[in-house]
């Protein structure tokens, strides 16, 4: 599987080096779920470029990793570069309202990302000009050589031009969109590069303030910049806070904020990206109804939320995945800044689907939704590797001792009675996998029995009491499974061994001869 298809890179799109799914606008929008946030920002941008006064022409996109920022910028790049012709395509017909269509031609688009211009060496154009700065890049991309000449001295000295100097470049471009992605990371790199006065970082921050002023005063010009949600998402978090504060003060405070993807939309985003199409809505409705009926019948054994209509609708949106599987990745794993939420979720879900397809002839029972218990870690290096990356290398021992592999405690429990539901459904391994996944991240660890059953139960399969029995057996054997019995019991894994391993080690040291001798002694 080519995992690059999940790594959106705006600079690669501009340079013509991106995978086809990003490079070709028709293919791109066929795989894009158009969110309310994307519609909103597209309408704002097109209205502004049409010359209509909009609320604000400086827009910030500030979300956590995988929040849809780069995907939104690529969408806008294609819309503005391709214009009305693209928007007539079926997959793009619902992006803009009928009264907001592009009334411009040949709009200029300037793009700057963390990869556009090397802090130390700059970038050399086809005319032989070496550009060193953000302002040099925007001037060149909007105005060509003539545009660059206006700021050549500022670029060579790495000294930020004022709004007065830069404004004519925007005016001469007439209709222009400026897209800046990953600016915070670029500024962290620029902190080590000296300028004529101070460092390139300081000058870049000063230019951003001048740029927002210039854009605000020039009609038919829009600036969109992405920022991380917190310093922890940046390469150097200590310097990152200083950078983030400075950029927020100059962009977020002045501009309008837009959230590209709402939480409820992420399920449809994932479905559109991973599957060509899911046409049979009757099947989706039937599956959702079966789960809703099952949850209602078992409502005393499950969390209250799953017996509501909203949860049935959530199942429809998440299909063919169980919503708890997606939420496990997004909410629990996504609480760790090292995990890129939408991008990371897509990559892992794709590997899970690929593995299930390979194993389709050996699967047991009705396959209605893809659950956490369907995750077969033994075949999923991408997933186990992510766990190790997030939690540390000592978690390898946790996984092999208790969760997967021929000698894992979960498999041993299942194989003790291969004809039972535990053995046939590999239920204990499913429980262990689910609890392991629920132990990753920095939020509250683990699951209650009710939450565990919500992750596992499926219509016309094993009984909910089987989960209790398998969990009890696993708890007696597992080396790294922990629980809290205060209030509602909660179960989780951690890298610290529990008392079971100490008991087993002590028992292994006791020899039969010693036992017999002790018996004779006591008799």
User: Percent of the chain at pLDDT above 70?
Assistant: 90
The alpha-carbon radius of gyration of the chain (Å, integer) is 28
Domains of the chain listed by start with CATH number: 3-257 (3.40.50.300), 263-504 (no CATH)
Look up residue 245 and give its two tokens.
Answer: 């504060």
Q: How far apart are CA 495 and CA 342, in angstroms?
A: 27
146 pLDDT above the threshold of 90? yes
248 - beta bridge partners? none
Q: How confident is the model at residue 263 (pLDDT cuts 50, 70, 90)?
A: confident
Q: How far apart are CA 234 and CA 251, in angstroms?
A: 18
Q: How far apart are CA 425 and CA 412, in angstroms?
A: 14
The pLDDT tens digits for 225-251 are: 988 766 556 555 678 788 888 888 888
Q: How far apart are CA 379 and CA 355, in angstroms?
A: 7
Q: How confident is the model at residue 4 (pLDDT cuts 50, 70, 90)?
A: low
Other beta carbons less than 10 A from residue 418's beta carbon: 9
Q: How confident is the model at residue 371 (pLDDT cuts 50, 70, 90)?
A: very high
Q: How far apart are CA 401 and CA 503, in angstroms?
A: 15
Q: Whole-model pTM?
A: 0.78
Q: How confident is the model at residue 65 (pLDDT cuts 50, 70, 90)?
A: very low
Q: 320: cis peptide before it, omega within 30°?
A: yes
The pLDDT tens digits for 249-262 are: 888 655 556 666 77
Q: What is the pLDDT of residue 339?
A: 82
Side-chain-side CA neighbours of 361 within 13 Å: the count stands at 1
Look up residue 501 and give its two tokens.
Answer: 């391993």
Q: How confident is the model at residue 82 (pLDDT cuts 50, 70, 90)?
A: confident
Better-predicted residue by pLDDT, 8 or 127: 127
Distances (CA, A) of 328 to 30, 69, 299, 303: 27, 22, 21, 15
């Amino acid at each position: 599987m080519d995992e690059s298809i999940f790594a959106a890179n705006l600079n690669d799109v501009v340079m013509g080096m991106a995978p086809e799914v990003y490079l070709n606008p028709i293919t791109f929008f066929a795989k894009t779920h158009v969110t309310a946030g994307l519609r909103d920002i597209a309408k704002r941008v097109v209205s502004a470029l049409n010359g209509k006064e909009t609320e604000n022409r400086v827009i910030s996109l500030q979300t956590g990793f995988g929040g849809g920022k780069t995907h939104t910028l690529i969408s806008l790049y294609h819309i503005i570069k391709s214009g009305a012709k693209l928007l007539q395509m079926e997959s793009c017909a619902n992006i803009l309202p009928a009264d907001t269509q592009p009334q411009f031609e040949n709009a200029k688009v300037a793009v700057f990302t963390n990869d556009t211009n090397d802090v130390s060496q700059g970038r050399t154009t086809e005319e032989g000009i070496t550009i060193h700065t953000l302002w040099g890049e925007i001037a060149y991309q909007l105005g060509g050589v003539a545009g660059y000449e206006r700021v050549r001295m500022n670029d060579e000295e790495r000294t930020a031009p004022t709004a007065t100097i830069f404004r004519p470049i925007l005016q001469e471009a007439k209709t222009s969109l400026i897209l800046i992605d990953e600016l915070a990371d670029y500024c962290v790199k620029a902190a080590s590069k000296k300028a004529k006065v101070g460092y390139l970082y300081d000058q870049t921050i000063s230019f951003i303030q001048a740029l927002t002023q210039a854009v605000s005063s020039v009609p038919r010009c829009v600036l969109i910049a992405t920022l991380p949600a917190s310093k922890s998402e940046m390469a150097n978090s200590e310097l990152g806070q200083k950078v983030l504060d400075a950029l927020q003060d100059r962009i977020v405070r002045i501009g309008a904020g837009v959230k590209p993807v709402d939480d409820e939309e992420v399920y449809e985003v994932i479905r559109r990206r991973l599957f060509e199409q899911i046409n049979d809505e009757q099947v989706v409705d039937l599956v959702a109804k079966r789960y809703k009926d099952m949850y209602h019948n078992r409502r005393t054994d499950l969390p209250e939320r799953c017996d509501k209509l909203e949860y049935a609708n959530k199942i429809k949106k998440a299909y063919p995945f169980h919503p708890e599987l997606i939420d496990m990745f997004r909410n629990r794993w996504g609480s760790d800044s090292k995990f890129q939420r939408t991008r990371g979720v897509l990559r892992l879900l794709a590997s899970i689907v690929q593995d299930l397809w390979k194993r389709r002839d050996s699967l047991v029972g009705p396959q209605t939704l893809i659950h956490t218990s369907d995750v077969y870690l033994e075949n999923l290096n991408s997933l186990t590797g992510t766990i190790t990356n997030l939690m540390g290398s000592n978690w390898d021992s946790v996984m092999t001792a208790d969760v997967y592999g021929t000698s894992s405690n979960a498999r041993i429990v299942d194989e003790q009675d291969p004809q039972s539901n535990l053995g046939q459904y590999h239920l204990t391994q499913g429980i262990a996998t689910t609890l392991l996944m629920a132990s990753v991240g920095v939020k509250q660890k683990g699951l209650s029995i009710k939450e565990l059953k919500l992750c596992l139960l499926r219509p016309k399969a094993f009984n909910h009491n089987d989960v209790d029995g398998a969990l009890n057996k696993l708890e007696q054997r597992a080396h790294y499974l922990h629980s809290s019995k205060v209030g509602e019991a909660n179960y989780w894994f951690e890298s610290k061994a529990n008392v079971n391993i100490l008991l087993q080690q002590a028992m292994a040291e006791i020899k039969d001869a010693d036992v017999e001798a002790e018996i004779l002694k006591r008799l």
